Structure 1
């Protein structure tokens, strides 16, 4: 019996040994854990039966472990939520601080813009006053030249008259000498000669007096001519100083305008060429200019400076015309939050800036132009495209309402739509783009450039 039983048990182990192995492990675990977690039974009674559930040590260990893991996960999740709430609060504080800094920067840019505008206006006023002074000085210079020429002419006449008087005196003396020759003893002849001498002496006295007066007039004329020449030199020097100041003033005024176009990625020479092609009309009668016969070198130098100032002023005026055609204004005038800038974002290129605000916030045109598109377009949602001059285009995306039509001409500051959350958007905001000849550029460069010219 024993051998048979052992043989049967050995056969059962050999056949089902692979299935009993986990059961043996469980039994061993239960035996080792039973000292700490004795087996428990949970009785369930009903009206006609009583049942129980056996809680073995391994089951209790798993239950305790599950409860411990659940409680630990709850603590970790709560900590994460608390940390997230704290970081979210600090992030909001940083956003509020960033918005405050941005608004302060805008205020500073506005103040700088007003200062530049005042400086430009003052420069224009100084230029107008200087032009009046230059014109008055040139008039005085021409008058002094005419007076000098008149005095020179009078001096020449006086000198010619003096020479004639001297010649007449010499002729009279020779006549007297001839008369007092052989016939000097004739009384009648002597009386005639005496009368002639008296007449000649009177004429000589008159001629001497006239000569003296002519010499005095000539000396006074030379003195006046020297004074006029000194005044002319002073006027020329003053004129040159005024032109130099004007040249420096207009040069300083042009530099910020030149920097505006370079800051937005535009070539100033091409901008000037384009504007001049559209403003190239000229005409009117030709009026010859008057020049003095003396001091041509100084006048030529002053004329060169004046022409350079006129060229620089024309360049500054052309820049002003070009600036009026650029979209330099802010598209949102109400309170907003700057949420995303131009550049790489989430591994892709963000070709504009995002300005967040409530749904329905008014959106305005940033410059004069023509609406080329007003409708819905893929990720933009409700989109408005405005074509400006000089190859610049602006785009306004995610709008809740469009207030313009394709082909409509708009001016800077016109209401064109309302802020919304259409298209690929995570919240209400305006996606604002600026493109130059189809290439996206940073819109903030245009907005910051406005502080130098407005």
Structure 2
């Protein structure tokens, strides 16, 4: 059956001296035909794959560039909004401090007016008591005078009458002075009461303005804290635990914000003081979030001229422990968070490899580099250039292999990158 499809053939080779031939058996022809078909088929499939990959890469590159532009615009807008919110919060904080100072002064003035009014009331009561005593004495003197005049006796009686008239004149003068003093104290007391009412009205208006300032500050704190809180939760991190770790290790200038201390003298805490301390606590949380965000790899290791070629997960039966970013050789590679370089040398499979240890047990790796611009022990900040994209080690083409590890265990780097896109 094979001979019918591929009959035996002879290939003659003739020269000037002799003629030779080669026998082509059916088996040999089948092997040659099969090999030719496989080579042609493989060529067609490989060409189609290359063409599809080239077309897909062009579309993906254009899409990546568009997403990069949108991301940068969003980043700029968020940065401007964050700066404006910070300026508003600082201005509101200044207004709040000025309002507290003014309230303190007004409260002191109000206390002084209240004390003065109390003194005037006590003085008025004393004057009224003196006036009552003087009127009683006057009535007694008038009664004595009437009795003396009724008797109509001798010259001694006239002398006594003259003495009584003198006493009565002194009492009338004292009574007039007391009445004048009483009127003056009454006018002073009325003025003090009016002034106290005006101060109470001004204090109430000032409290309303303070309440408005408090609301603006509270809204600004809420708008600023919620995105940061969602960012850390989206990355799989507990914000409360993170904040406690940052607070324990914080050594920056000035330290964290401390609550305002108000003397209550045994009374209930002032609601304004409680609101102010809540705002200060939120501002302190934002400050600690800012410190923590610098230490967590939320940013991209490459910024432009790249395309993602392979993500985190199983590939060809084994774990691909990172994300690959393809690009041209020499493309700058940046640190994605603050940290310390723990490795910067050639490593089998990885080629030129840089490892950076960050806080919270996080480590980032940058493999297949063409050049390394850092050394072991060097401190780097987020956004610092640490090397250049290359094709070293076991690599099928120029790309950056980027890993994130938590306590030595690989995790998907895109979890952090996606979490930070809406904030940074």
TM-score, with normalisation over the residues of structure 1? 0.75
SS at match of 1:379: coil
Q: Is the 8 A contact 1:183 1:189 kept in 2?
A: no
Equivalent residue number for residue 384 of structure 1 = 354
Q: CA deviation at 1:368?
A: 2.2
Equivalent residue number for residue 195 of structure 1 = 166
* Structure-1 separation of matches of 2:105 and 2:350: 66
- Point out 4+ residue stretches in structure 1 off by more than 6 angstroms: 42-51, 68-79, 280-283
Which of 318, 321, 344 is 2:291 aligned to?
321
Kindly tell me: are residues 273 and 156 of structure 1, through their superposed partners in 2, closer, same or farther at Cα, counting changes over 3 Å? same
Equivalent residue number for residue 95 of structure 1 = 60
1:156-215: CA deviation from partner (whole Å, max 9, x where unpaired): 223322322222222232133224324663333323322332332232223223323333
Equivalent residue number for residue 312 of structure 2 = 342
Kindly tell me: are residues 366 and 50 of structure 1, through their superposed partners in 2, closer, same or farther at Cα, counting changes over 3 Å? closer
SS at match of 1:423: coil
Alignment of 1:413-432 (within 5 A): 413-432=383-402
1:303 aligns with 2:273: yes
1:407 aligns with 2:377: yes
Q: Is the 8 A contact 2:300 2:417 kept in 1?
A: yes
1:171 aligns with 2:137: yes
Q: Is the 8 A contact 2:302 2:333 kept in 1?
A: yes
Kindly tell me: are residues 75 and 424 of structure 1, through their superposed partners in 2, closer, same or farther at Cα, counting changes over 3 Å? closer
Equivalent residue number for residue 275 of structure 1 = 246
Higher mean alpha-carbon deviation, 349-358 vs 174-183, is at 174-183
SS at match of 1:306: helix
Equivalent residue number for residue 410 of structure 2 = 440
Equivalent residue number for residue 122 of structure 2 = 156
TM-score, with normalisation over the residues of structure 2? 0.80
Q: CA deviation at 1:43?
A: 12
Q: CA deviation at 1:112?
A: 4.0
Q: CA deviation at 1:257?
A: 1.6
Q: CA deviation at 1:241?
A: 4.1
Equivalent residue number for residue 330 of structure 1 = 300
1:114 aligns with 2:84: no
Which of 183, 191, 198 is 1:227 aligned to?
198
- Unmatched 5+ stretches in structure 1: 1-21, 31-41, 52-58
Kindly tell me: are residues 322 and 356 of structure 1, through their superposed partners in 2, closer, same or farther at Cα, counting changes over 3 Å? same
How many corresponding residue pairs? Answer: 405
Equivalent residue number for residue 14 of structure 1 = none
1:301-360: CA deviation from partner (whole Å, max 9, x where unpaired): 222222222222222222122122223333224522222223333343322221222222
| RMSD (CA atoms) | 4.1
* Structure-2 separation of matches of 1:336 and 1:446: 19
Q: Is the 8 A contact 2:138 2:172 kept in 1?
A: no
Q: Is the 8 A contact 1:354 1:432 kept in 2?
A: yes
Q: CA deviation at 1:379?
A: 1.9
Q: CA deviation at 1:268?
A: 0.9
Q: Is the 8 A contact 2:334 2:383 kept in 1?
A: yes
* Structure-2 separation of matches of 1:351 and 1:406: 23
Alignment of 1:243-282 (within 5 A): 243-279=214-250
